[in-house]
Amino acid sequence: MDKFNRRDFLRKASVAAAAGGASLLWACGGAEEESGGAPAVQTRKKYEWKMVTTWPPGFPVLGEGAELFAKWVDEMSAGRLKIRVYGGGELVPALEAFDAVRQGVVQMGHAASYYWAGKTPASQFFASVPFGMNAQQMNAWILCAGGLELWRELYADFNLVPFPCGNTGVQMGGWFKRRIDAISDLQGLKMRIPGLGGKVIEKAGGSAVLSAGGEIFTNLERGVIDATEWIGPYHDYLMGFPKVADYYYYPGWHEPGTILELFVNKSAYEQLPADLQAIIFAASQRSNVWMLSEFEAKNAVYLQKIKAEYKTEILEFPAGVLRAFREYSAEVIEEVTAGDAMSKKVYKSFAKFQKEIGEWADITERAYYSRLSV
């Protein structure tokens, strides 16, 4: 696996093209390439597949996790299924990954499903929802409480088969150039925050601005924006945000546990022999655990680096601000589900499970973090 070169981080980001979609997106421009669809079935046949991602090549954790997935599939299949991984823009622009895979231009993609909200709004519930579930709860819903079946139903209409394949964990709330002491401080605030979270900021009187990954630093430095969310300390440090904003807020109410997705062209997938299909599922779950673990381990280290190297103030959003965000989030979700039957169906399952597991978490995980952990 090619290691991401940190010195290249901002240089690569700076060639990124216009972003849309949502939080983690790096939308990179690039040449399209046409290639064949899935190979026909044949015993012991070898497959050479392509995976497009929405991350820059070798992007820490996310791009690395996609490369590891391909490496593990290669090892398990003894070379029968080779997957070449492309960064966003290398083969098709990042935001065209969904269409490239559904049309069979390539066989696989790695992204976060809220990028496809414009194509099918229900996709957002399989990535992250403001005040929604965290990583452990999302896995339980997806794998053991009907979430994956709904996700497959949704994606089948696009000739895709989805798998959970990574999670960021609870994100940070973002970098601000001024303190947020009350919800009124959001009035007129220009924040880079896409997706449902952006709609919440707008309800609070701010402006949700979209910027490509490579433009955020400069926009924040020059005051084109007053704030930005991104992921957490590891990536935020590499992006240089602590150099240009002093207030780092938590928790990431807008993305409490974002699932990264693997999606496979359904026709290509169905032509694979059963052993390679099972290998794809297991590799996605090894990546699923690895990415969350790597985010957790690296964020812990980089939080300390930020504290040691910068005068960043790390602050909790005031209770009144979070209360207002929660109310606006409920309105935003109501608007999405009112306008789309599949969103309504998916969110019904999501919300029912969130309530059930919330009561259980209250006496276990919540109690762990408030009473047992160091």
Restricted to residues 76-115, the positions that interact with a copy of itself (CB under 8 A) are 76-78
In the complex with a copy of itself, which residue's Cβ is closer, 93 or 130?
Answer: 130
Q: How many residues bind a copy of itself (CB under 8 A)?
A: 81
| Candidate list 32, 153, 275, 313; residue touching a copy of itself; CB under 8 A | 275
Residues 167-186 that bind a copy of itself (CB under 8 A): 169-172
The least distance separating a copy of itself from the CB of residue 167, rounded to whole angstroms, comes to 10
Give bridge partners of residue 228 from the DSSP assignment: 175, 192
User: Applying CB under 8 A, does 288 fall inside the site for a copy of itself?
Assistant: yes
The least distance separating a copy of itself from the CB of residue 264, rounded to whole angstroms, comes to 16
User: Applying CB under 8 A, does 156 fall inside the site for a copy of itself?
Assistant: no
* Phi, psi at 75, each rounded to 5°: -65, -45
First vs last Cα of the chain: how many Å apart?
35
In the complex with a copy of itself, which residue's Cβ is closer, 31 or 78?
Answer: 78
Site string for a copy of itself, 338-367 (x = CB under 8 A): ---------------xxxxxxxxxxxxxxx
Instruction: For residue 28, give the nearest of 54, 61, 2 by alpha carbon.
Output: 54
Instruction: For residue 109, give the nearest of 258, 280, 279, 255 by alpha carbon.
Output: 280
In the complex with a copy of itself, which residue's Cβ is closer, 98 or 249?
Answer: 249
Q: Are 95 and 59 within 8 A, CB to CB?
A: no
* Phi, psi at 296, each rounded to 5°: -60, -50
> What are 53's two structure tokens?
């991602």
Q: Are 279 and 77 within 8 A, CB to CB?
A: yes
User: Applying CB under 8 A, does 128 fall inside the site for a copy of itself?
Assistant: no
Residues 12-51 that bind a copy of itself (CB under 8 A): none
The least distance separating a copy of itself from the CB of residue 165, rounded to whole angstroms, comes to 11
**Residue 317 region by backbone torsions, left for phi larger than 0, else alpha for psi between -120 and 50, else beta:** beta
In the complex with a copy of itself, which residue's Cβ is closer, 64 or 90?
Answer: 64
* Phi, psi at 348, each rounded to 5°: -60, -45
